[in-house]
Amino acid sequence: MEARDVIISPRITEKAMSNAAVNQYSFVVHPHATKTQIRHAIEEIFKVNVVKINTVNVGGKTKNFARRGRRTAGQLADWKKAIVTLRPGQKIELGGVNYFEQ
């Protein structure tokens, strides 16, 4: 798997923003990616040094939908989250903008 296939997108949430103060960044990653693959992908894409990685398999929620007057139930997809801790003094900026510190 290539680096761009492993890292799908960053998680830009309130909790992710507060964790950026302690050099922890959250990403949505490929469900079959290992911690080693995630480490290499982050280091290759963002040119930073990774200290630690925690991963979480997040189950999809069951949701109710109203379609054409009928109520149906559906399920959102399962996904995998990686919380990456960087070496002190390093940052990740996305597209020249540091979304994690605003």
Domain edges within the chain: 3-86
Mean pLDDT in residue range 15-20: 88
Q: What share of the chain is helix, strand, coil (3-state, %, to 5)?
A: 25, 40, 35
Mean pLDDT in residue range 37-60: 96
CATH number of 3-86: 3.30.70.330
| Contacts for 6-10: CB closer than 8 Å, 24+ residues apart | 6/30, 6/33, 6/37, 6/38, 6/40, 6/41, 7/38, 7/41, 7/42, 7/45, 10/92, 10/94, 10/99, 10/100
pLDDT of residue 98: 66
Single-letter amino acid, residue 97: V
Average pLDDT over all residues of the chain: 90
Report the 10 Å Cβ neighbour count for 20.
19
pLDDT of residue 67: 80
Report the 10 Å Cβ neighbour count for 27.
24
